[in-house]
Every structure is written in structure tokens, then in C-alpha cells.
Amino acid sequence: MSTAAVPTDEPAPTGTGEPGPTDTTTPAPAPTTPADELLALHRSGRLATEYPRLKTLLAQLDEDRSARAAQLLARVDPDEVLRAHPSLPALTVAITGHGTLSALVPALALEGARHGIVLRTVVSDFDSYVFDLADPGSALHAASPDLVLCLLDPMVVRDELPAPWRPEDVEAVLAEKTALLEGLVSRFAGSGSGTLVLNTLPLPRDLVAQLVDHRSRARLGVLWREANIRLLRLAETRPELVVLDLDPIAGEGVEVTDARLSVYAKAHLSPRMLSRYAREAGHLARLAAGQTKKCLAVDLDQTLWGGVLGDDGPEGIEVGDGPRGAAFAAFQKVVGQLASQGVLLAAVSKNDLGPVRDVLANRTEMALREEDFVRLAVNWRPKHENLAELAADLNLAVDSVVFADDSAYECGLVRRELPGVAVVQLDEEPARHIGKLLRDGWFDTRELTTEDRARPALYRSEAERKDFLHTFDSLQDYLRELGVRVEIGPVADADVPRVSQLTLRTNQFNLTTRRLQPAEVRALAEGPATQVLAVRSGDRFGDNGLVGAVFLRREGSTVHIDNFLLSCRVFARGIEQAALTTVLSRARADGAHEVVGHYRESAKNAKVQDFYPANGFARTGGAGDVGERPDEREDEQPDAHTSERPGEQPDASANVRTFRHDLAGIPPLPDHLQLTDTSEGHTP
Amino acid sequence: MNSIDDFVTLIRDDLGLDVDMTDVDRPLDQVAGWDSLHLIALLTRLEHSTGHSLSLPAALEASSLRGLYDVAVTG
């Protein structure tokens, strides 16, 4: 892999991951998958009583597991849910239309549970939509539904074609059906309540292909689409009507019809199309229940741009140029498109604010600018705290926030702490960011007003720029569930390139910013008085790999920490404390009397200036405070692989502080993680 | 799926129906909660997990869960 263009700090942990090496003294609880948890709730009959919890579990299921969960959720009695949770929003949804419709029930049950809305579904008899909608005394009207889903499918037309047929026959049936639907919509408006939902009819290829001449095929295409246009136009004048356009869904490759289900079961829309339809209906249910999303909070590194700003610098991040840069720029445009329609855009990112503002102001390829954001929550605090504060600051319920991030860790944290926040989990493939953001219609609304479009400007007051202290207490429970594991030991030969890379690219959690080529790392690892420790970590989301390094040097009874590095992607999970505690413990075991740590200020490492004092070290002060070994490479030029600019290379005038630990009270290991120490009994 | 016990477990866990071995020879219309929707969902599930196609007409003609199981294992 090229090291020049690819950001080498840790990608977001992904996947479920395999357990890594573990310390047998503190076994982690066996990870339970969300699907297992759902099944356990079903088996113990607790899906109804635990209903509010389901949204967090369902958010983590793939399409297949969601379809299975839907079947279980369809068995849950809405009354039982409401008895347990009387304050949950509840809606009645009537299902009518052409063909067998009951397969929509599980799909809707899934969407209801995803959104924490109790949906009572009332399914009409087979093919009774005309009577249902036209007769004010029908069972459908008697149910006083909030939503009426009238499912239309291409068989509405095909069922009535003569054999053989010609395009004119299709034209006649389409004219009759659209006129009928127009009449039904009028009748519904006069007698019904709630929102009526119709849908367009995707044109089946196996209807088109029955015509052998292209002229007739083109004619059929025109007639069919004109009918769909008439349906869509109805919504322009009917406030109670929504017409869902199924063509874009079919265009994504979702099959409209499953031939066997259509023939044998008279279910004319495929299960996947029904689940997509239900997803749209779920957002209409949200609207009916008054649950609207108003704010989109986006991460920055690997979300709006490629790379890690703190390490790669404002000029080093990927946006606009190159294939990945273009993907991020395209995503930014879509985010901006949402913001232009009244969605309040906020950045929630672990970064220093200065460089972020620099990028927003000066990277010309950025589609988004500071003025597009109503707030920049850019600091080092846990993201759920920032989101809660952001919502309070904007005078919104936190449940009206949608959060998009590429990090499984951050997404998991927000899901756990703020279950009402919709989490859009992105990954390392920026080309898919747009699809993931738009997968759900989180910001769907019936009609956009002038006030909506103007809303962001109202909120765009000068954002508060707080530089917060690190307050991670609220993270403890999450970290415990995360199953963080840390392995610390001498670097193996195979680790040398990666450790060198960390020294070259890590800027933020880099106590002395010493840049080392692989040969130099190897020399230090093999030196008689020096040692290099590699830090690896992982958690239930997966393996993070080699994330940190500690450079040690023994001088008499003193162990110097010449440098301490950690990828900022895993910062603040206790990994740095575990590594430091290990160093202190080993030093004491090996007869040292003190450990001395050095901090050399750089343009980017301010956030770790208190790392040693916060962990039991005392500032030494005096002459020893400058001119220590960490300065010896001060005249070296930046490495070609780094994004460092000349002005940022450590220099002789850099402020070096020295801290001492007397090895008396070694801080305990953070109790949420498992440590494996492979140091094998010696410090240098 | 290796036995009718597995089949019953699948119906319980994937369809959410409260059935047990005493239901397998009962006429389908006497199995609590059963309807044709379940048949479709079940066959889709079985085809997905086994990777081969099953006969929907044969399944529609099955009169009991055991009959469905026979369709599922014989294709």
C-alpha cells in the first residue's frame, strides 16, 4: 500500500471482528448480536414490553435479518405495547389495494418498531379498494385510519387486458383506471380522514417485451407514463393525498414483481418492493405522529473529507481531487442540498476548531462552507454530549437529530446514549455515503414552505466556540460494553514499518513528534538501552490493529519515555492509560526508581499537553525541562511521506516540558478493558 | 435444517408462531395464527437458506406443517 496518498491513521473499526488475544483473568462477556437479542426477546415474549428498545437493535440489522425480524414484530399486539408504554405514539394504518396485501403487514410492523411508533394495521379484503375508498360506511372508514395505503401494482392494468392485446387496449384500461382513482380520491376527500397514499405503477418489462415492434413499445411507454403522470399530478391539488413514485426504487434494482408470488399467491409486488414501500410509509407515519427530523449532524474526518485533518493537515485531506476526493465532494453537495431545504446542518467532530475553520474557509474544493453550518461542535468531548448540547442550543429535541459518522465506535456510542437520534453509519467507502444518507427519508415532509428554506439562516448565529475539558465519565458504561482489548509488547520486526509510519503521520497524540524512518525504529528496538513497545487494540466492532507506540530509554535507574504515540481514532478509550500504566509497572518491576516523560509542543499536539500530569506525573521544571534527548533530532527535515509543512517541524525553540513519576502510586488499569502485556519481563 | 424439530424451531423463530411438535400433523387451518402469508414468508426463508428453489404450488397444496416440511426437504 502506498503511504504517500492514503491516510494511514486508523480507519473506523468495522465488522463484528474476532476476539483478539485476551487476558484470561478478565474474560469479556460473550458479545450478543442485535439479532440474537431480538430473538431472545421474542422467545421470552418481551417484544411488547421492550418495544422502545427495539429501535436501537433494529438499526443494526442488515436487510435479511430485518425481514426476519419483521415476521416476529408482526406478531406483537399493539394493545400490549400501549399498555406497557401508554405514551408511545400510536397510529392506525389501513391497507387496501389490488391483490393480496397481507405481506405488507410485517414490513410495516418493522418500520413502526424502527421509529418507535405503534402501528395498528387494518387489512382490507382481497381487491376491495374501490368499495373501501368510495363507501363512507366501509370498514376502512370505520377504522378512522391516520394513513390509508392503497397499493397499486401493474396487474391492476394487466388483469383487464384482452388476449391478445394492443397498445390501444392498454390505453383504454389506463384511462379507465386513472379516472376511477381520481374519482376515489375525491370521494375519500369528502368522507375520509387522514392521509391517502397511492403509488405509481412501474412498467413491467415482460409487458413491453410482448410487443415485437419498437414503435408499439415506444407507444406503450408513452401511454403508461402518461397514466403515472396523471396519478402524480393528483397530489398537486389534493392536500390529503401522497403519491409514492415506485420507479426510482425499481431503478435501484429492486424487483417490482416476484413471478411465483404474483401467480400463485396474487401478491403482485415483490417482498423487497413491499419493504421499500413500507420504509416510505414509515416516514409518512413519522410525519403523522409529528416526529420530524430537523438537524443533520455530520462527522468531518472520513465523512465530509478523506483523511484525518489533525494528522494530514488542511492541505493533506482528500476533497475534490482524485477519485476519493471527488466522492467526498459529491457527498458534501448532497449534504448542502438538504441544508438548502431547511435541514439544520451541524458538524460534530473530534478535531481542533482552528484547522476545521481553515479548511472550511480555504480549501476551494469544499462544497460546504462555514456559513452552511448552524453550529460547529468541534472539540474532543464525547459525541453524544455534543449532540445533546447541540439540540438544546438549537432549542430542538435531541430526537430530531440525524447523526452521520464513519466510525462504528461513535455510531455505537450515540445509539446507546441517545436512542432517539437516527444514526447513519457510514464506512470507509465514500462513494456509498450518499446512498446511506438518503436510504431513509429522515427529512421527508409533505410540503416545503418558504419558512423552511429560511430556517437555517435563523439558527446561524455565531456558534459558541467552547474548548471543553475532557469529561468522559459518561462513557464508562459504553466502554464496558465495547469490550476494549489492548495488547502491549516489544515491536516485532514486521511491526517496524507501521511504527515508523505512525511516527511520520501522527500529529495529535504525539508527545514529542519525533519522526523516525524504519531503520531508526529498528535501531531503537534493538538498542541495548532502548526499547520500542507496540500498542494494539480492538473491540467488539473489530480489530484496530497497531494503533500506538511507546519509545523507552533506560538511563541508570531512570526510564525515559522519549515518545508516546497513539492514533487519534482510538483516543479516549482508556488505551493510552493502559499503555502508560504498563510502562510504569514494568519499570518498577525492573528496579527503576522513576519514569520521566517528555512533552514537546507542536502546532497540533496541544490536546496531549496534560497527558502526563493527568496520569500522576509531576512537572520537573528547571534545567532538565529543556534540551533533553527528544530535541536531538530537531534539525531534521520533514519526511517526504508526512504532510508536515516546514514551519511545523519541531525546532530548537519548541517548548519542551518534562514530567516525573516516582513509581509510588501507579494508577490502576481502566477497568473496562482487558490488557495483554507481552513485554516479557524487561524494560531496557 | 435436518429434522422436523428444526422446521418447527424455524417457524417459531422466523415467523413468530407459537407452534410445537403437537401442531405438525394438525390441519393448517387449525394451527393458531397460520395464514397463507406465512407460507410465502416461510418458503422465501427456506429458499434463501438452502439456495434452491421450492415448489410453491406443491406447498400451497400441503395440508399440514409436516406436509410443508416434506415439500421443503424434497424440493
How many Cα neighbours within 13 Å face the side chain of A621? Answer: 1
Q: Which of A26-40, A377-391, A607-621 has the lowest mean pLDDT?
A: A26-40
Integer Rg of chain B from CA = 11
Across residues B48-58, what is the average pLDDT? 83
pLDDT in tens, A296-315: 999 999 999 999 999 899 99
- DSSP 8-state code for residue A501: H
Please name the helix (run of DSSP H) or strand (run of DSSP E) that holds residue A349, with its range, or none. strand A344-350
pLDDT in tens, A486-536: 999 999 998 998 898 888 888 889 999 888 888 899 999 999 999 999 999
The mean predicted confidence, pLDDT, of chain A is 86
Q: Which domain holds residue B54?
A: 4-74
Taking CB atoms and an 8 Å cutoff, what residues of chain A touch B14? 68, 71-72
Closest CA to A328 of A299, A370, A353, A350: A299
Q: Give the pLDDT confidence score for residue A627 in this predicted structure.
A: 42
Look at residue A9 and tell me whether its pLDDT is greater than 70. Answer: no
Q: Which of A72, A103, A261 lies at the smallest CB-CB distance from B16?
A: A72
CA distance A270 to A258: 5
* Whether A609 contacts A597, CB under 8 Å: no
Is B27 in a helix, a strand, or coil?
Answer: strand
Chain position carrying cell 531496557: A684
Nearest CA in chain B to A40: B13
Look at residue A550 and tell me whether its pLDDT is greater than 70. Answer: yes
Taking CB atoms and an 8 Å cutoff, what residues of chain A touch B56? 260-261, 264-265
Q: Give the pLDDT confidence score for residue A680 in this predicted structure.
A: 58
Strand partners, A379: A350
Residues of A with CB under 8 A from a CB of B: 39, 42-43, 64, 68, 71-75, 100, 102-103, 105-106, 260-261, 264-265, 267, 271
CA distance A196 to A287: 13
What CA–CA distances, in Å, run from A379 to A316, A347, A356?
20, 10, 10
Q: Which of B14, B40, B57 lies at the smallest CB-CB distance from A68?
A: B14
AA identity, residue A645: R
Across residues A318-334, what is the average pLDDT? 95
Taking CB atoms and an 8 Å cutoff, what residues of chain A touch B55? none
Q: Which of A71, A264, A265 lies at the smallest CB-CB distance from B15?
A: A71
Name the grid cell of A251. Answer: 431503478
CA distance A310 to A260: 56
Q: How far is CA A351 from the centre of its chain?
A: 18
Q: Give the pLDDT confidence score for residue B75 in this predicted structure.
A: 62
pLDDT in tens, A495-506: 998 898 888 888
Q: Give the pLDDT confidence score for residue B54 in this predicted structure.
A: 86
Q: Which of A273-282, A283-292, A622-631 has the lowest mean pLDDT?
A: A622-631
Q: Give the pLDDT confidence score for residue A466 in this predicted structure.
A: 33
Is A657 in a helix, a strand, or coil?
Answer: strand
Residue A514 CB partners (closer than 8 Å, separation 6+): A503, A551, A562, A563, A630, A633, A650
Q: Which of A248-262, A450-464, A497-511, A579-593 has the lowest mean pLDDT?
A: A450-464
What residue ranges define each of the domains in chain A, with the CATH number in brackets? 89-288 (3.40.50.1110), 295-471 (3.40.50.1000), 483-677 (3.40.630.30)
Q: Give the pLDDT confidence score for residue A212 in this predicted structure.
A: 97
CA distance A247 to A238: 21
Q: Which of A64, A71, A260 lies at the smallest CB-CB distance from B41?
A: A71
Using a cut of 0.80, tell me whether the model's pTM lies above it. Answer: no
Is A79 in a helix, a strand, or coil?
Answer: helix
Nearest CA in chain B to A71: B15
Strand partners, A119: A91
Taking CB atoms and an 8 Å cutoff, what residues of chain B touch A42? 13, 16
Query: In terms of pLDDT, which residue wins out, A186 or A471?
Result: A186
Domain total of chain B: 1
Across residues A218-244, what is the average pLDDT? 95
Q: Which of A102, A261, A264 lies at the smallest CB-CB distance from B35?
A: A102
Chain position carrying cell 423463530: B13
Indicate the burial class of A62 (C-beta count within 10 angstroms; 0-12, 13-18, 19 or more): exposed
How much of chain A exceeds pLDDT 70, in percent? 87
Under 8 Å CB pairs connecting chains A and B tally to 47
pLDDT in tens, A421-432: 999 999 999 999
Name the grid cell of A189. Answer: 376527500
How much of chain A exceeds pLDDT 90, in percent? 64
Name the grid cell of A541. Answer: 466492532
Q: Give the pLDDT confidence score for residue A463 in this predicted structure.
A: 42
